[in-house]
Chains A and B, each alone.
Chain A
Amino acid sequence: MKAIIVGAVGAVLGCALGVVLVLLDGMPLQASVQAHNTDWIYQIMLVTTAGIFGLVTAVLVGAVVTFRAKHGDMSDAAPVHGHTGLEIIWTIIPTIIVIVLTGLSWKVLNDNNVADAKGHLTVSVWGQKWDWNYDYPTYSGEVTGTKGTFPYKVAGIHELVVPINTPIRFEIRSRDVIHGWWVPAWRVQINATPGQMNLLSATPDRLGTFAVVCTFVCGDAHPKMGTEVAGAFPSRIHVVTQAEFATYIAAAVVQAKKDASDPDHAAVVAFSGCAGCHAWTPAKAGGTVGPSLDDVAKDKPAGETLEAFVRESIVSPSAHIATGFSPGVMPANFGTTLSKDQIDALVARIAADSKK
């Protein structure tokens, strides 16, 4: 009987501790419908299980304090081998608790999924070493100009603009290894797994700029991928009003179409793969993992044309290492992931800019 009283007191104290922890709120800012849902289930679980924790701790400490043997006490306790009723109770009550928690979690899981909600916006996300690229498949297409037909897409390098209060369906893929795409303020995360498309959805309900964090170890610059650590190129999501988004996307489509008919377009698109690590003024990129591309000429070995050097540095990056940087950092597969046209355009543009 005493044990039950101690346990009950402990459970109440534990729940109180849980409530305090909820009030202290360790979670980041809530910025999406999913964040509200997830925090709700989190708080329920926190308070419930803190009660269990309190119960166990109270009985444990109570027993150690109360039943401690006096010095030299060699007696044995009463031989109690068990209590069927008690054992049934502590099987059934936890069972009920976990069934309830499972049911609530399931509900939240379903509520959180808005990938197929009405009026959703689709964004495709590409993870690569060590950057996130975005584009809007809805706002991509083909444009026919005087020089022929070109595909265009509204793409963002490490920055994404989305409208508020709109269900967004993220289609996440990877170009090299596994990355993890996490928006802490939205409470949503999924891996970018090579060879498959993973789905994630969120409905942002707060304006502002939010960090994207890579959660999966992916190589040398993994800590810099997305987070705001020193020397990194932060990856952010800007949530804007629906009107602002409409304006933004209309302008972006016009720009994308214009870019598409521009001969430099291929270079700019291809450069999206470089922006995470390299600085390059024409694309407003400022990465510091690799050398800046604004003055590639300074690292060029004598007796080689600038074009040949730039091409070599893209296709087999370890052939010549710029001073102050380590070999093996830049992925060696751009020769296969970029098309020949893209490489040609990139080489021409980077070399031309550097000569200015």
Chain B
Amino acid sequence: MRVFLRPNLARCLWVTPFVSLTSMTLALAIRKAAGYPQLWDDGVPQQMLAIGYISGVIGFLIGIGSFDTWFPWMIGSPDRPDDHSQHGAYSWRDYFRFNTDHKVIGVQYVVTTFIAFLMGGMMAEIFRSELAHSGQGVIDTKMFNGLMSQHGTLMIFTFLVPVFAGIGNFVIPLMLGAPDMAFPRLNALSFWLLPLALLIFLSSFLVGSFEAGWTGYPPFSTEGPMGETLFEIGIQVAGASSIATAVNFLVTIITMRAPGMTLFRMPLLVWANLATSALVVAATPFIAGAQFMTMFDRVMGTKFFVPEMGGDVLAYQHVFWFYSHPAVYIMVLPGFGIISEILSVMSRKPIFGYRAIAFSSAGIALLGFSVWAHHMFASGMEDWLRVPMMISTMMIAIPTGIKIFSWLGTIWQGVLHMTTAMLFATGFIFTFVIGGVTGIWLASVPFDNHVHDTYFVVAHFHYVLFGGSVMTVFAGLYFWYPKVTGRMINEKLGRAHFWTTMISSNLVFMPMHWLGLEGMPRRVADYDPQFQNWNEVISLAAFVLGAGMLIFVYNVIVSARHGAPAGPNPYRSLTLEWQVSSPPPIFNFDIPPRVVGGPYRYGEPGAKHAIFPEPSVAKERTHA
């Protein structure tokens, strides 16, 4: 029975419903005490749902043990020295509890987000089979809208945004020469919010899935089924998770660098993460605000988006995109960092134009805040905003271009080792350029006024988010797989995975451009028969794309057992994460490193990024 009292998932089993039900009862009691005439009027189930879920999240966090040390600390109980019992993974069970080790959290993040990725992908397969033929087929419009909305939501909020937090979590403290993140408990808490967000989104199927897309524009979202409320709550939970992680990254990068690790000796992934985290911290609350407003409209009957009562429908889009455009950079900038790492190591050549790449990340992050309204060219937005937004959107192509050209400069005249990670990195450049150039077209207001909200836009952002971000995620996973597991991943299967992904994804997303230009709107369960042919191709290729993912899953599982032992540094990389054993020791560095030079000094004879000073001196520091 003790298992139900210690902080773990078993305790969550009773604490979560307990807190949830208590809150709902309390709310009903307050309703009754306040003398509301009807205890159960129309809005009440909606309110109970919101209260139950929000308090359930808190209950779960209490159950898993997020607050076990904070509560006593806050009220000033006597200090308890930490026994590090929550730190590190000694068996598989340690991955299922509140663990403060950044490496464990990194793995937890990546696995959770991958489950979300596969689910989102599965939903896409279902509605692609509906779209394979014109006319009503497998699912009805309601179901289609639900799946389409879930697909976008899961892919964005529970896959692409947090997966980079996962990769960063594992790699960045190691790259910096730090023993962990700055706030390990906060780190664990931000992770455990993520599976909750996933469950909240998925459970909306039970009460009527949200249909307004991942954008949730009112008034369609404010009048939708109850699932829409769960969408709004899920966004808050996922958003809280990503803000907490970003704060953690920023503090870690600012304060936890090893001696000698000046800003311009940081690996570029760290730079990318610095820029991304700044974006997350400053931008994410805007989507929280937007979802608070729609939720208040639904649950409490406020009038934010009721035009007859002074509501302002367009303002939602401004608030929403003020987050959601920077979110696009949140989803690609860390990927850019990953690519910079891989290209340099695999080309045995220093990165071309280190400072230009570092500053272009910062430039993209800054410019990213001034382009949000390009999503609203056709929404009836203020006319005077159009041209400035067009200019700033076009401008953002410049730092992005600098990055791409610098990468080409890096691989040119290198000694290219075409591992799977490198294949994905180079494949990424190819597909991302396509997404980039259509982005320039869409920035042009007159052109956007033709293809806005059509399949052209769907094609564009899938080239950016799949051809861009997902390719970098795979590149990163293949690249750091030996570090995480201590074993090499099967390259043959990796190459098979790359080529199926590369070919089928282009077959899926390229024809969508023509469909959009010709006149097929997005988010439709049914379409004009004239678009039939391309849709058949797309659906067929989508199934191949999905099957390709199975190769990856198989490879990851099997190689973890049967792969060749990797050794600490299979790629002869200079950065710090490769200077420790694979998998790394529980506290990362037995000897704290001293950084003496840049991270990409390949080809300079005897050049070093970091040295490890005398153990006797170092030991004293670590365990002080």
Give me the interface of A with B, judged by CB distance under 8 Å.
3, 26-28, 34, 37-38, 41-42, 45-46, 49-50, 52-53, 56-57, 59-60, 63-64, 67-69, 73-83, 86-87, 90-91, 94-95, 98-99, 101-102, 105-106, 108-109, 112, 172, 176-178, 180, 182, 184, 187-191, 193-196, 198-199, 211, 213-224, 227-231
Contact = CB atoms under 8 A, between A and B. Distances in A.
Interface of B: 134-136, 141-142, 145, 211-213, 217, 219-220, 223, 307-308, 311-314, 347-354, 356, 378-380, 386-387, 390-391, 394-395, 397-398, 401-402, 404-406, 408-409, 411-418, 426, 429-430, 433-434, 437, 440-441, 443-447, 449-450, 452-454, 513-514, 517-519, 521-529, 572, 601-604, 607
B386 A109 contact: yes
B141 A222 contact: yes
B446 A27 contact: no
B140 to A, nearest CB: 8
Contacts of B220: 177-178, 217-219
A211 B145 CA distance: 23
A82 B353 contact: yes
Contacts of B450: 38, 42, 184, 187-189
A227 to B, nearest CB: 5
A64 B356 contact: no
B411 A64 contact: yes
- Interface majority SS on A: helix, strand, loop or mixed? mixed
Nearest to B348: A76
B446 A109 contact: yes
Q: Which of A41, A68, A112, A217 has the most CB of B within 10 A?
A: A217
Contact of B415 (A50, A64, A75, A176): A75
Given A77-B347, A82-B356, A215-B521, A180 B453 contact: yes
27 contacts: A37-B446, A38-B450, A41-B446, A64-B426, A75-B348, A75-B415, A101-B440, A102-B390, A102-B394, A112-B449, A177-B219, A178-B379, A180-B452, A189-B450, A190-B378, A190-B380, A195-B308, A195-B311, A195-B313, A196-B313, A198-B379, A215-B453, A215-B521, A217-B524, A223-B527, A227-B527, A229-B528
Contact of A220 (B142, B379, B418): B142
A51 B265 CA distance: 35
A105 B447 contact: yes
A205 to B, nearest CB: 16
A77 B348 contact: yes
Contacts of B412: 3, 59, 63, 67
Contacts of B415: 67, 69, 73, 75-77
Contacts of A213: 519, 521
8 nearest A-B pairs in the assembled complex, by CB-CB distance: A195-B307, A198-B380, A184-B519, A79-B603, A49-B437, A215-B453, A77-B349, A105-B444
A151 B621 CA distance: 88
A30 to B, nearest CB: 11
A81 B354 contact: yes
Contact of A45 (B409, B447, B453, B454): B447
Given A60-B426, A105-B445, A106-B387, A98 B353 contact: no
Contacts of A229: 134-135, 526-529
Contacts of B353: 81-83, 87
A349 B579 CA distance: 85
B516 to A, nearest CB: 9
B572 to A, nearest CB: 8
Contact of B526 (A53, A105, A224): A224
Given A63-B413, A90-B405, A191-B379, 6 more contacts: A27-B517, A108-B444, A180-B452, A193-B379, A221-B141, A227-B521
Contact of B314 (A101, A105, A193): A193
Contacts of B523: 217, 222
B511 to A, nearest CB: 10
Interface centre among B394, B404, B513, by most A CB within 10 Å? B394
